[in-house]
């Protein structure tokens, strides 16, 4: 499986069973998608910077998302539930973007994807630690894609990934202020006892290459590599 980070919480997972793109908001990839294509596109939360466009508009689960035109053919998921799309197995788990059950920043959906024999959880823009029930719903995962610099402090983000007991952690620095996002990432790496990692343009991983100990991989946003 190949993992590419586009910025924000937008990530592409490319595996044998298909291609998944998470959180492809026009504010990240533009209204055309810049050529990004997928079999499945998931949205963890409503777009914080919606753009007016004549592109495809999808309304589901209480909020509206605007799909970039290159992703119009993809099947769309933006809420909790268990799904099978083509050969892709996906589990969406209801969470929140704050620590007040969504009253401040709204709902969030964590998506667990089964791809190439591995379970990857995309935490979206989650803003709280998980209770036992939510940990059980997410289940055993190999890879965690975690937002850094949004509603979670670095310490709480580190505690959150520890709850999921995965060995491969991919942080997703978020926020319009690049300096603040970089600072948040640095604090998270300190919490994870990682010193000066070398960012890579993409991550290729197989079930046999998942590290046996907790490992953090920092990705460069696509286009800046």
pLDDT in tens, 89-102: 999 999 999 999 99
| pLDDT of the residue at 61 | 56
At 225 the pLDDT is: 39
Question: The domain containing residue 28 runs over which residues?
Answer: 2-216
Task: Give me the mean pLDDT over the 128-154 stretch.
Answer: 96
Residue 159 in domain: yes
Dist CA 99 CA 168 (whole Å): 25
**What would the pLDDT profile of 69-78 be if each residue is shown by its tens digit?**
999 999 999 9
In a domain, 223, yes or no: no
Q: Is residue 222 part of a domain?
A: no
pLDDT score at 65: 79
Q: Per-residue pLDDT averaged across 215-225, rounded?
A: 82
Q: Which pLDDT does position 94 carry in this prediction?
A: 97
Residue 10 domain-assigned (yes or no): yes
CATH code of residue 127? 3.60.15.10
Compare 51 and 56 and report the one with higher pLDDT. Answer: 51
Residue 111 falls inside a structural domain: yes
Confidence band, pLDDT 50/70/90 cuts, at residue 176: confident
Q: Is residue 223 scored above 60 in pLDDT? A: no
Query: How much is the pLDDT for 83?
Result: 97
Is residue 221 one of the residues assigned to a domain? no
Residue 224 lies in a domain: no
On whether residue 225 sits in a domain, the answer given is no
pLDDT at 107 over 90: yes
CA 91 centroid distance within chain? 13
DSSP states of 110-174: EEEEEETTEEEEE-TT--S---HHHHHHH---SEEEEEESSSS-HHHHHHHHHHHT-SEEEEEE-
pLDDT tens, residue by residue, 115-138: 999 999 999 999 999 999 999 999
Spatial distance between the Cα atoms of 207 and 87, rounded to a whole number of angstroms: 18
The structural domain count of the chain equals 1
Q: Does residue 21 contact residue 38 with C-beta atoms inside 8 Å?
A: yes
| Predicted TM-score (pTM) of this structure | 0.94
User: If you average pLDDT over every residue of the chain, what do you get?
Assistant: 92
């Amino acid at each position: 499986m190949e993992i590419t980070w586009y910025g924000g919480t937008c990530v592409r997972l490319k595996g044998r069973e298909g291609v998944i793109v998470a959180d492809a908001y026009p504010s990240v990839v533009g209204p055309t998608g810049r050529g990004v294509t997928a079999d499945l596109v998931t949205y963890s939360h409503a777009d914080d910077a919606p753009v007016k466009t004549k592109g495809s508009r999808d309304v589901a689960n209480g909020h509206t998302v605007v799909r970039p035109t290159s992703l119009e053919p993809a099947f769309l998921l933006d809420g909790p539930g268990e799904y099978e799309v083509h050969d892709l197995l996906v589990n969406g788990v209801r969470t929140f973007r704050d620590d007040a059950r969504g009253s401040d920043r709204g709902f969030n959906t964590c998506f667990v994807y089964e791809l190439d024999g591995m379970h990857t959880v995309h935490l979206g823009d989650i803003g709280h630690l998980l209770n036992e029930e939510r940990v059980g719903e997410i289940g055993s995962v190999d890879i965690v894609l975690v937002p850094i610099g949004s509603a979670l402090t670095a310490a709480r983000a580190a505690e959150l990934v520890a709850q999921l007991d995965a060995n491969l952690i991919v942080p997703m620095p978020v926020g319009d202020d690049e300096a603040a996002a970089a600072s948040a990432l640095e604090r998270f790496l300190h919490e994870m006892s990682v010193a000066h990692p070398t960012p890579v343009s993409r991550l290729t991983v197989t079930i046999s290459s998942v590290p046996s100990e907790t490992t953090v991989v920092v990705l460069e946003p696509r286009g800046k590599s």
